[in-house]
């Protein structure tokens, strides 16, 4: 009964808030943060994030996975100019005891970039995402009291109770805008930059009917973020950042600070970028992050000291750490991973 009440609580919250779990490495999961980032990646790139909190046998279990492939769109004259990008994103979430609640989606990403002036490094990027979301309750891994035998314990041959539901599919559309300005085209010697963005998820606010459990509307989620880069000392930079979300009366505010340093020399064949950072989620959580970028590869790790996700886990009274890892690979080794100066994860 305890697990059933937990399951129903999770489902009711998802139906009312329709807010999926969040990654802690916001700038390593940019296709989730803002679809306009698709138009800021100048090379063919693959990136993925994996996050987990709790154990599968706890009510607090949470597992997130995303994988994104991005391809830049360029116009070639005397030199290449990026005018946008296209990509595809896969996202999966498992939540609750034995991951009974599962949600997954496939999104197509497109973006168009406009340079504000020929002689300045300022641009505005518009991004659009569209795809299919599938959610389901799956009790295949649950064990019930009716399956217990006093002789052998759990007996899988005995009939089990069932609360599974048929998969529910619905479309979703997201839109975002990014403004970026920086002082140098060369990413590795750039000293000053600013990055601002806003986006709206679930523009179409689809209605979801979960097999008799109830009907709910997927609410719009409004997001805004900002990040800047300043030189603190030779080859040492700070990145003050902020990120806010709002949906149906629920709000979340995050303040972050990163520090990075470039470890290389004019004769070095590899450029190594090291970065550490922290985020404070107002009245909720502290996130610590560390990672590195070496030429075509970027790896990051983080720990979120509270796995609360936009009030969902708060409703269940959970308070536990989560761990996340990210990896980004650049298929064009002659160019940097990014042409905007956001933190690397």
pLDDT tens, residue by residue, 249-274: 889 999 999 999 988 755 556 678 89
Residue 104, in any domain of the structure: yes
Whether 138 shows a pLDDT value over 80: the answer reads no
Confidence of residue 279 (pLDDT cuts 50, 70, 90): very high
Do strands 207-209 and 215-217 pair parallel, antiparallel, or not at all (unpaired)? Answer: antiparallel
Whether 233 shows a pLDDT value over 70: the answer reads yes
Higher pLDDT, 310 or 265: 265
Average pLDDT over residues 330-338: 70
Residue 338, in any domain of the structure: no
Residue 100, in any domain of the structure: yes
Average pLDDT over residues 173-202: 87
Residue 99, in any domain of the structure: yes
With tokens 């937990």, the residue in question is: 6
10: enclosing H helix or E strand = helix 2-17
Higher pLDDT, 116 or 300: 300
Cα separation of the two ends of the chain: 41
The reported pLDDT for the residue numbered 191 is 79
Q: 29 lies in which domain range?
A: 2-330
Confidence of residue 157 (pLDDT cuts 50, 70, 90): low
Residue 307, in any domain of the structure: yes
Whether 289 shows a pLDDT value over 70: the answer reads yes
Confidence of residue 234 (pLDDT cuts 50, 70, 90): confident
| φ, ψ (nearest 5 deg) of residue 287 | -115, 130
Residue 336, in any domain of the structure: no
Average pLDDT over residues 229-235: 88
Confidence of residue 315 (pLDDT cuts 50, 70, 90): very low
Higher pLDDT, 201 or 264: 201
| φ, ψ (nearest 5 deg) of residue 167 | -60, 140
CA 140, CA 131: separation in Å to the nearest integer?
27
Q: Any residues with CB less than 8 A from the CB of 109 and at least 6 apart, and which?
A: 31, 35, 38, 68, 70, 85, 86, 87, 88, 89, 127, 128, 129
Higher pLDDT, 193 or 267: 193
CA 167, CA 180: separation in Å to the nearest integer?
40
pLDDT tens, residue by residue, 15-28: 444 467 889 999 99
The reported pLDDT for the residue numbered 17 is 40
Higher pLDDT, 212 or 332: 332
Average pLDDT over residues 182-209: 84
Question: What CATH number does residue 292 fall under?
Answer: 2.40.160.40
Q: How many domains does the chain have?
A: 1
Q: Could you give the percent of the chain with pLDDT greater than 70?
A: 72
Check: CB of residue 191 under 8 Å from CB of residue 182.
no
CA 322, CA 329: separation in Å to the nearest integer?
24
pLDDT tens, residue by residue, 158-182: 555 555 567 889 999 999 999 998 8
Confidence of residue 326 (pLDDT cuts 50, 70, 90): very high
Q: Which two tokens stand for residue 65?
A: 């996975």
Q: Could you give the percent of the chain with pLDDT greater than 90?
A: 43
Check: CB of residue 306 under 8 Å from CB of residue 316.
no
Q: What is the mean pLDDT of the chain?
A: 80
CA distances from 322 to 17, 77, 129, 325 (A): 22, 48, 28, 10
The reported pLDDT for the residue numbered 137 is 75
Residue 345, in any domain of the structure: no
The reported pLDDT for the residue numbered 15 is 44
Among 254, 231, 248, 259, smallest CA distance to 312 is for: 248
Residue 337, in any domain of the structure: no
Quickly count: other Cβ atoms within 10 Å of residue 242's Cβ. Answer: 16
16: enclosing H helix or E strand = helix 2-17
pLDDT tens, residue by residue, 75-132: 877 677 788 999 999 999 988 776 678 899 999 999 999 988 776 788 999 999 999 9
């Amino acid at each position: 009964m305890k697990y059933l009440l937990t399951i129903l609580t999770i489902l009711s919250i998802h139906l009312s808030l329709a807010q999926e779990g969040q990654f802690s490495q916001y700038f390593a999961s940019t296709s989730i943060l803002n679809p306009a980032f698709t138009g800021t990646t100048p090379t063919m790139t693959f990136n993925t994030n994996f996050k987990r909190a709790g154990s599968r046998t706890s009510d607090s279990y949470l597992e997130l996975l995303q994988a994104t492939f991005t391809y830049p769109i360029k116009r070639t004259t005397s030199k290449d100019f990026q005018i946008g990008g296209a990509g595809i994103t896969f996202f999966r979430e498992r939540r609750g005891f034995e991951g009974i609640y599962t949600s997954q989606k496939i999104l197509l990403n497109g973006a168009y970039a406009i340079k504000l002036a020929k002689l300045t490094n300022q641009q505005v990027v518009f991004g659009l995402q569209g795809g299919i979301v599938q959610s389901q309750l799956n009790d295949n891994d649950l064990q019930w009291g009716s399956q217990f035998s006093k002789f052998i314990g759990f007996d899988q041959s005995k009939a089990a109770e069932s609360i599974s539901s048929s998969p529910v599919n619905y479309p979703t559309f997201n839109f975002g805008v990014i403004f970026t300005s920086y002082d140098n085209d060369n990413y590795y010697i750039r000293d000053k930059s600013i990055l601002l963005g806003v986006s709206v998820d679930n523009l179409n606010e689809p209605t979801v009917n979960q097999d008799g459990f109830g009907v709910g509307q997927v609410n719009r989620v409004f997001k805004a973020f900002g990040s800047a880069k300043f030189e603190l000392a030779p080859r040492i930079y700070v990145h003050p950042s902020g990120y806010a979300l709002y949906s149906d009366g629920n709000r979340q505010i995050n303040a972050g600070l990163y520090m990075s340093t470039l470890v290389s020399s004019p004769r070095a064949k590899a450029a190594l970028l090291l970065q550490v950072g922290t985020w404070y989620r107002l009245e909720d959580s502290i996130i610590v992050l560390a990672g590195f970028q070496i030429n075509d590869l970027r790896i990051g790790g983080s720990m979120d000291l509270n796995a609360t996700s936009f009030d969902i886990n708060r409703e269940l009274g959970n308070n536990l750490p989560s761990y996340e890892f990210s990896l980004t690979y650049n298929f064009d080794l002659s160019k940097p991973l990014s042409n905007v100066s956001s933190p690397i994860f």
